[in-house]
Amino acid sequence: MNSVINTIAHQFAHPGQIVAIKPLGNGNINDTFLVSCAGSDDHQFVLQRINTKVFRQPQWVMENMKIVTEHIHHKRQTLEMTRRWETPRVILTTAGGDHFEDEAGSFWRAISFIDQSEAIDRIEDQAHAVEVGFALGMFHGLVSDIPAASLRDTLVGFHITPAYLEQYHEVLLNATIRQTPEIDRCLQWVSDRTKFATVLEDAKRSGAVSLRIMHGDPKVNNVMIDVTTQQAISMVDLDTVKPGLIHYDIGDCLRSGCNPLGEEVEDWEAVRFEVDRCEGILQGYLPQMKTVLTPVDYDLIYDSVRLITFELGLRFLTDHLAGNQYFKVTYPEHNLHRAMVQFRLMESLEQQEKAVRQIVESHRSIA
Ligand code: GN1
Ligand code: MG
């Protein structure tokens, strides 16, 4: 066990002797560890080092997280539910703080691990798709009565596609770009869609849609699945919970869930947007949001998936061109390949626009 991390884990009020610490998940931004303790039912917790180059005000991340988890916790108790639903809780330090700052200035915090659950990277079957959609609907429903203005903007510009486009243009002006067929293809993918990039922000400006609380990162492996029942029991990774358009969340959940090959696949040309998965996710999501969603929200679902897929491709591409400053990489072209996977997924979605719109329509008529 790494002794530095072990010392840090001991700063948090843990329930028993710490017996193991292992890296957890494959996050692109923060460093995450699973800490196991002996002699207690609450035997595991999640320890994270927040990337403060990305989250400039990490204490705001904690503030938002506490408001949201406490709200969900109380509201959950008032709901008559026959199935399990859990919320991660912030674990305080032994001194009573919500984080620990080490000598190097790193910002550490701990949250509870959802017992008897697993995070699955890709959707395995239709039932799993429905569960992933259910989880996002449950989350959005539970936070729908928190006024957007009561949370901080912890990551300015996060999920505002035109802002990413501006950054991209700035990087293009300043970077020396090696023209390869792959880069050329990416540049083309972007330039063909610059007008489209404003679709959600235009809708916000015109008042057609408004700010709510968004999760910010509702990808498949942020939905915890009960190991016994295989039902979704929690939405985790609440770092990006902040005021925003939930359309980006709906889009992101579909972007992640309908790409069976995953974000890291090498053969980007094989990437497809899977319409059946989209049907499953919406079947899990929409019925729970019946009373929250407006007709305009339904109108924007197809565009939202297309937009967030474009946006993530653009973010990976920009980071590649800027020298990999934001997302963790394991080789120099990593972000370029990730960008190509997203752009190819977007293209595949575009080819199936009609089918996706039809699925949305069929649910709108039920609602
Ligand atoms: C980042 O670190 P992780 O994997 O939880 C990113 C998301 C992207 C995701 C793509 C704060 O999330 O926006 O969708 O990578 N988070 C941030 O895998 O930028
Ligand atoms: Mg995340």
Residue nearest to atom 12 of ligand 1 (CA): 28
Average pLDDT over residues 35-54: 89
Q: In this structure, which ligand is nearest to the CA of 215?
A: 2
Q: What distance lies between CA 298 and its chain's CA centroid?
A: 21
CB count in 10 Å sphere of residue 2: 11
Distance CA 94, CA 92 (A): 7
Q: CA distances (Å), 92 to each of 17, 33, 89, 220, 348, in order? A: 17, 16, 9, 28, 45
* DSSP, res 79: S
| Lowest-pLDDT range of 5-19, 160-174, 188-202 | 5-19
Q: In 3D, which of 231, 25, 245 has the Cα closest to residue 133?
A: 231
Average pLDDT over residues 20-26: 93
Q: What residues sit around ligand 2, an ion, with C-beta below 5 angstroms?
A: 217, 237
Which residues lie across from 225 on neighbouring strands?
Answer: 118, 232
Distance CA 115, CA 136 (A): 19
Residue 140 CA to ligand 1 centre (angstroms): 19
Q: What is the pLDDT of residue 79?
A: 86
Average pLDDT over residues 216-240: 97
Q: In 3D, which of 47, 56, 123 has the Cα closest to residue 90?
A: 47
Residue nearest to atom 13 of ligand 1 (CA): 217
Q: How far apart are the first and last CA of the chain?
A: 52
Work out the pLDDT band at 1, boundaries 50, 70, 90.
low
Pocket test for ligand 1, best of 61, 155, 217, 316 (most atoms within 8 A of CB): 217
Percent of the chain past pLDDT 70, that is, above it, reads 98
Residue 367 CA to ligand 1 centre (angstroms): 32
Q: What is the pLDDT of residue 367?
A: 54
Pocket test for ligand 1, best of 24, 28, 252 (most atoms within 8 A of CB): 28
Q: What share of the chain is helix, strand, coil (3-state, %, to 5)?
A: 50, 15, 40
Atom of ligand 1 nearest to the CA of 237: 5
Average pLDDT over residues 11-33: 92
- Tokens coding 32: 């995450």
* DSSP, res 42: S
Tens-place pLDDT, residues 85-111: 999 999 999 999 999 999 999 999 999
Q: What is the pLDDT of residue 40?
A: 64
Q: CA distances (Å), 323 to each of 108, 187, 263, 320, in order? A: 27, 16, 20, 5
- Residue ranges around ligand 1 (CB below 6 Å): 27-29, 54, 217, 237, 240, 263, 312
Tens-place pLDDT, residues 51-79: 999 999 999 999 999 999 999 999 988 98
Average pLDDT over residues 34-59: 91
Residue nearest to atom 18 of ligand 1 (CA): 28
Residue 46 CA to ligand 2 centre (angstroms): 14
Q: What is the pLDDT of residue 33?
A: 97
Distance CA 238, CA 60 (A): 12
pLDDT of 322 over the 90 cut: yes
Q: Is the dihedral of CA 168, 332, 120, 237 positive or negative?
A: negative
- What structural domains does the chain harbor? 3-114 (3.30.200.20), 126-366 (3.90.1200.10)
Distance CA 94, CA 8 (A): 11
Q: What is the pLDDT of residue 312?
A: 98
Distance CA 197, CA 132 (A): 26
Q: What is the pLDDT of residue 42?
A: 65
Distance CA 224, CA 214 (A): 18
Atom of ligand 1 nearest to the CA of 26: 4
Q: Is 206 helix (H, G, I), strand (E, B) or coil?
A: coil
pLDDT of 366 over the 70 cut: no
Q: In this structure, which ligand is nearest to the CA of 236?
A: 2
Q: What is the pLDDT of residue 349?
A: 98
Q: Is 12 helix (H, G, I), strand (E, B) or coil?
A: strand
Residue nearest to atom 14 of ligand 1 (CA): 217
Q: What is the pLDDT of residue 253?
A: 98
Strand blocks (E) in the chain: 18-23, 31-37, 44-50, 90-91, 100-101, 107-112, 117-119, 212-214, 223-226, 232-235, 242-244
Q: pTM to 2 decimals?
A: 0.96
pLDDT of 225 over the 60 cut: yes
Contacts of residue 226, defined as CB under 8 A and 6 or more positions apart, other chains included, come to 84, 116, 117, 232, 233
Residue nearest to atom 9 of ligand 1 (CA): 28
Tens-place pLDDT, residues 171-203: 999 988 888 999 999 999 999 999 999 999 999
Q: What is the pLDDT of residue 41?
A: 64
Most distant pair of Cα atoms in the chain: their distance = 59
Residue 355 CA to ligand 2 centre (angstroms): 29
Mean confidence (pLDDT) of the chain = 95
Average pLDDT over residues 142-159: 96
Q: In this structure, which ligand is nearest to the CA of 25?
A: 1
Tens-place pLDDT, residues 242-284: 999 999 999 999 999 999 999 999 999 999 999 999 999 999 9
Contacts of residue 211, defined as CB under 8 A and 6 or more positions apart, other chains included, come to 148, 204, 243, 244, 245
Work out the pLDDT band at 39, boundaries 50, 70, 90.
confident
Q: In this structure, which ligand is nearest to the CA of 329?
A: 1
Put the strands of the sheet holding 223-226 in their side by side order. 117-119, 223-226, 232-235
Average pLDDT over residues 332-339: 98
